[in-house]
Amino acid sequence: MSSFREFAVSTAFGSGRLVVEVQGEVDLLTAPTLGAVLGALVDQRHLDVVLDLARLQFMDASGVQIVADTAERLQAAGGTLSVRSAPALTLRLLAITAVDQVVLIEQADPAGAGLGPEQRGDDHSLSVPSERADLPRNLTQLGSIPASHEVIDGALRLVTSLASATVEGADGVSVTLSRHGRLATVASSDDTILRMDQHQYETGEGPCLSAAASGHWFHSESLAEEDRWPEFTPLALEEGISSILSTPLMAADRPVGALNIYSGTERAFGTHQQELAALFATQASRILIDGGADVSNEQMQARIVGALLSRETIARAQGILMARERVTAEAAAALLHRSARTAEVTVIQQAAELVAPTHGDDDPDRGARP
């Protein structure tokens, strides 16, 4: 498992395209951060996004899930996700899971290494199929295994940074979560914002607590005119805060916290800012769900066992096809995926059918043939 500190994401904008460069390993620890970055870019309506993997060392199933989800969101918005300079192993994983059918694969160009197609005259990119692919999800189940609080909080800190820089009028952002039966601030843009949350915990009132308890957003346009939180409001005014927008974070259809945006200006948050806050809150909620923050130990164990069994079944089915059809591992994976689509079942269902005792124990030539 990779070290979280070895992972890095950077963005650059040029010729109408947003390039996201990934360095290090994308796995259960780091995938939530990559998902937060890509999700925020989609929310900001960047529709031509390039994922540059030239410095990628490794990507596991949780990373593939992030790529697939981002590609689907961009397609729905009329945009495109391109994958540039992906390592051979990553390309194979994208092909096995059919994610390469919903992204634009930009092949390496030795003569123009490090340059995107917008900087070259010869674009060798593959075309994106017009029909939306039916992505198999079983190979990406490992993305549902819970990450540690440290990893989740790191991803949420990135969300607060993006929200603070994106929402006009915001002077600070924080994320409040329920931890061990009590609310706590797990990400904040500065010490003043951290104190603002603490004032609410100490007084037992405020928009943050109200949003986290009710599952509805709370907007105080002017704290000078506010009468809903009589103990908290004077403390907020002393800190120089004049308006607050708190949006609930949801997991398993219940509130588990809130995204809080603070401003020193009265009536700072209009309709557009409220919509952006909702988008960032949705992204933060997705991080919690993907990271398994709301999953019990029993559910976690069941998911791990299920994911491992699925991988074993697929590997066994792939081995059967390699021996029976005398093909390579890559060709066997493609055959398995193609037969699953033809039969209109998932890859794991097709693999289970192939390795069932009734298929192959007595006659290796029997069974479902792609």
Tell me how far apart the alpha carbons of residues 176 and 262 are, in angstroms, rounded to a whole number: 13
Burial 49-71 (b: 16+ CB within 10 A, else e): bbbbbeebbebbbbbbbbbbbbb
Domains of the chain by range and CATH? 4-144 (3.30.750.24), 149-290 (3.30.450.40), 297-355 (1.10.10)
First vs last C-alpha separation in the chain: 35
Alpha-helical segments (H) within the chain = 31-43, 61-76, 88-96, 149-166, 191-203, 207-214, 232-238, 271-290, 297-325, 329-343, 347-355
359, pLDDT greater than 60: no
Give the global pTM. 0.47
Task: Give the distance between the most distant pair of CA atoms in the chain.
Answer: 81
* CA nearest neighbour of 102 among 124, 137, 70, 63: 70
Burial class (CB in 10 A: 0-12, 13-18, 19+), 111: exposed
Residue 161's alpha-carbon distances to 6, 34, 139, 157, 175, in angstroms, are 20, 14, 32, 6, 11
Q: Please report, as a single letter, which amino acid is at residue 142.
A: L
SS3 state at 6: helix
Binned at pLDDT 50, 70 and 90, residue 16 comes out as low
Residue 59: beta bridge partners? 26
CB 25 within 8 A of CB 59: yes
State whether residue 65 is helix, strand or coil: helix
Give the CB-side neighbour count of residue 302, counting CA atoms within 13 A: 6
Least confident of 5-9, 105-109, 296-300, 334-338: 296-300
Closest among 143, 155, 144 to 7, alpha carbons compared: 155
What pLDDT band is residue 339 in, cutting at 50, 70 and 90?
confident
HSE on the CB side for 201, CA within 13 Å? 16
DSSP for residue 255: E
d(CA 225, CA 73): 40
pLDDT of residue 192: 94
- In this prediction, residue 313 carries a pLDDT of 79
- Residue 198: the pLDDT is 96
What is the predicted pLDDT for the residue at 308? 54
Greatest mean pLDDT range, 168-172, 332-336, 350-354: 168-172
Q: Mean pLDDT, to the nearest integer, of 302-317?
A: 64
- Answer yes or no: are the C-beta atoms of 184 and 177 closer than 8 Å: yes
Please give the Cα distance from 241 to 231 (Å, whole number).
15
Q: Chain-wide mean pLDDT for the chain? A: 76
Per-residue DSSP letter, 126: P
